[in-house]
Amino acid sequence: MTYNRTVVKEHNKASTLLKESIALRKTLQDSVGLGENLTQLAEVYYDEKRYEEAIKLFKASIKIAIDKEYRKLEQFNYNYVSEIYQQLNQADSALYYYKKYVEVKDEMFTETQEAKISELTIAYETEKKELALAQSKIEIQRKNLYLYLSLAGILLLALISYLIYNQQLTKNIKLKKEMELKTALARIEIQNKLEEQRMRISRDLHDNIGSQLTFVISSLQYIQYQKKLKTDEIKKRVSDIGAFTQQTIHELRDTIWAMNKEKIVLSDLLSRLTNFINQLNIKENISINVSASIESKLEHFVFSALDGIHVYRIIQESINNAIKHADADEVKVNFDLEENHIKIYITDNGKGFDLDLVKSSNGLKNLKKRADKLNAQLNIESQVGEGTNIALKIDTGKIDSEL
């Protein structure tokens, strides 16, 4: 629809056509179209200065526009009506309809603004929702990414843990095998050492017991072939042979006792020595006392079987020498610990001897030989008529010690 003020040359023709259109609009009950046709016909009348008829048509169109809320048509009509009344010099009516025109115009502007604001609000809210949705998607994606990274981290950590565990397990298996190998080697080494000690003890047994038995046999043969020997002399020799044989048996038992042990604790050695001394005390009717200032530490010192038998033999032979050769009736044995050394003192109140005269005796040689095998120091002090003092000094660093 065109709302200009075009001068229509053929007013009659236009009027006829508009009236026909108005009739058709009424038939079709097209209120909006009817209102527009009324306004158009009113414009024709306005151009023809038929103001009264124009006003009626404009007002009829205004009523339809108000009813159909056709605000633009309503505004358009108010403007024309205000102009017509102005032409008719009816100022009050012109002002009234002009105000209506301005009122509708303001309302339309407000509605337009509100529509725009509403449109902008909807667009803003839509954009806000879309932004929130996008942020939500981003947050979900971020959480998913964090979850994926966490899962990847967990898998990586699990893989690293498995590799470390597997490596540690392999290392432990390797260490276990190495320990088993070391244990086996140590066992073999201990077995070899034990076998070596037994071989040495066997040689010692062969050397000592063999020579003693040889002496017994030769003594018996001597008696057998000496027809001039008297009965008392024979009895004495047989008695000596018996005592010597008894001593040999004891030495054999001691050697077997040592062979049956891997190691000899100092307390075991002291116990064995005490048994030996108790038998001598009963048999020889002499006083032999054993004391140990390191009694609380006896379990801390451990000898090899061979070293243990050497220590035992040195003490045993020293006691036997005091009884048989020095005619002592009192012997003291003391175990002591001085500056990382075990010291064993054997003292007697026998008749003593001159060291220069007996240095080459087999008894002293045997004592020295056993001390050398122990890597120990042996010191013998004796004077004729003043008894004998024997000191055996063993370095604790050369034996198994827990101190």
Which pLDDT score is estimated for 5?
Answer: 42
Share of the chain above pLDDT 90, in %: 17
For 156, other C-beta atoms within 10 Å of its C-beta total: 11
Which pLDDT score is estimated for 156?
Answer: 83
Chain segment 353-366, per-residue pLDDT in tens: 877 777 667 777 88
**263-403 has the same fold as 11-131:** no
Which pLDDT score is estimated for 291?
Answer: 81
**6 pLDDT above the threshold of 50:** no
At 311, is the secondary structure helix, strand, or coil?
Answer: helix
| β-bridge mates for residue 400, sequence order | 302
The CA-based angle 59-67-11, given to 5 degrees, is 35
The domain 263-403: what is its CATH number? 3.30.565.10
289 secondary structure, DSSP code: E
Which pLDDT score is estimated for 259?
Answer: 58
Cα–Cα distances (Å) from 136 to 150, 237, 250, 347, in that order, read 20, 120, 101, 103
Nearest one of 267, 255, 262 to 335, comparing CA atoms: 267
Which pLDDT score is estimated for 341?
Answer: 81
Weakest mean pLDDT among 74-83, 284-293, 312-321, 362-371: 284-293
Q: What's the one-letter identity of residue 336?
A: D
Higher model confidence: residue 124 or residue 35?
35
In whole angstroms, give the CA distance from residue 208 to residue 249: 11
Mean pLDDT for 225-253 is 64
Nearest one of 277, 285, 387 to 334, comparing CA atoms: 277
Residue 267: Cβ-neighbour burial (10 angstroms; 0-12, 13-18, 19+): middle
**1 pLDDT above the threshold of 70:** no
Mean pLDDT for 92-111 is 87
Q: Which class in CATH covers the domain with range 11-131?
A: mainly alpha
Which pLDDT score is estimated for 37?
Answer: 93
Mean pLDDT for 233-247 is 65
- With a CB cutoff of 8 Å and minimum separation 6, the contacts of 34 are 22, 25, 26, 64
Chain segment 127-173, per-residue pLDDT in tens: 777 777 777 787 888 888 778 888 888 888 888 878 888 888 888 88
Q: How confident is the model at residue 246 (pLDDT cuts 50, 70, 90)?
A: low
Which residue's structure tokens are 């004998």? 388
Which pLDDT score is estimated for 86?
Answer: 93
Chain segment 39-49, per-residue pLDDT in tens: 999 899 998 89
Structural tokens at position 293: 């200032």
Domain boundaries, the chain: 11-131, 263-403
Which pLDDT score is estimated for 287?
Answer: 81
**351 pLDDT above the threshold of 80:** yes
**228 pLDDT above the threshold of 90:** no
In whole angstroms, give the CA distance from residue 367 to residue 192: 27
Largest Cα span, the chain: 201
**335 pLDDT above the threshold of 80:** yes
In whole angstroms, give the CA distance from residue 187 to residue 192: 8
Averaged confidence pLDDT in the chain:
78
Mean pLDDT for 345-360 is 81
Structural tokens at position 324: 């048989």
Mean pLDDT for 299-327 is 83
Predicted model pTM: 0.46
Chain segment 247-260, per-residue pLDDT in tens: 566 666 666 665 56
Q: How confident is the model at residue 328 (pLDDT cuts 50, 70, 90)?
A: confident
Q: Work out whether strand 377-382 and strand 388-395 pair parallel, antiparallel, or are unpaired.
A: antiparallel
Weakest mean pLDDT among 173-182, 224-233, 288-297, 382-391: 224-233
In whole angstroms, give the CA distance from residue 13 to residue 21: 12
